[in-house]
A and B are shown apart, each in its own frame.
Chain A
Amino acid sequence: AQSVTQPDIHITVSEGASLELRCNYSYGATPYLFWYVQSPGQGLQLLLKYFSGDTLVQGIKGFEAEFKRSQSSFNLRKPSVHWSDAAEYFCAVGAARNYGGSQGNLIFGKGTKLSVKP
Chain B
Amino acid sequence: DAGVIQSPRHEVTEMGQEVTLRCKPISGHNSLFWYRQTMMRGLELLIYFNNNVPIDDSGMPEDRFSAKMPNASFSTLKIQPSEPRDSAVYFCASSSGQNNQPQHFGDGTRLSIL
Check B104 against A102 for contact (C-beta < 8 Å): no
A90 and B43 contact, Cβ closer than 8 Å, known pairs A43-B91, A102-B55, A104-B48: yes
- Asked if A105 lies at the interface with its beta carbon under 8 angstroms from chain B, I say yes
Provide the bound-state CA to CA distance between A43 and B104, in Å.
9
Provide the bound-state CA to CA distance between A34 and B107, in Å.
19
- Asked if A42 lies at the interface with its beta carbon under 8 angstroms from chain B, I say yes
A108 and B43 contact, Cβ closer than 8 Å, known pairs A42-B107, A44-B91, A102-B55: yes
Interface size class of B (residues with CB under 8 A): 20 to 34
Contacts of B71 in A (CB 8 A): none
Contacts of B55 in A (CB 8 A): 102
A46 and B43 contact, Cβ closer than 8 Å, known pairs A103-B97, A105-B33: no
- Asked if B106 lies at the interface with its beta carbon under 8 angstroms from chain A, I say yes
Check A44 against B105 for contact (C-beta < 8 Å): yes
Check A43 against B56 for contact (C-beta < 8 Å): no
Query: Which B residues have a C-beta under 8 Å from some C-beta of A?
Result: 4, 31, 33, 42-43, 45, 48, 50, 55-56, 91, 93, 95-108
B98 to chain A: closest residue by CB: A104
Tally of A interface residues using CB under 8 Å? 24
Which residues between 43 and 79 of chain A lie within 8 Å of chain B, taking CB atoms?
43-46, 49, 51-52
Provide the bound-state CA to CA distance between A95 and B102, in Å.
12
Check B99 against A104 for contact (C-beta < 8 Å): yes
Contacts of B104 in A (CB 8 A): 46
* 3 shortest interchain CB distances as A-B pairs: A43-B105, A94-B99, A51-B100
Contacts of B96 in A (CB 8 A): 104
Contacts of A51 in B (CB 8 A): 99-100
Q: How far is the CB of B111 from chain A (nearest CB, A)?
A: 14
Check A43 against B33 for contact (C-beta < 8 Å): no
A102 and B56 contact, Cβ closer than 8 Å, known pairs A42-B107, A45-B105, A108-B43: yes
Provide the bound-state CA to CA distance between A94 and B96, in Å.
13
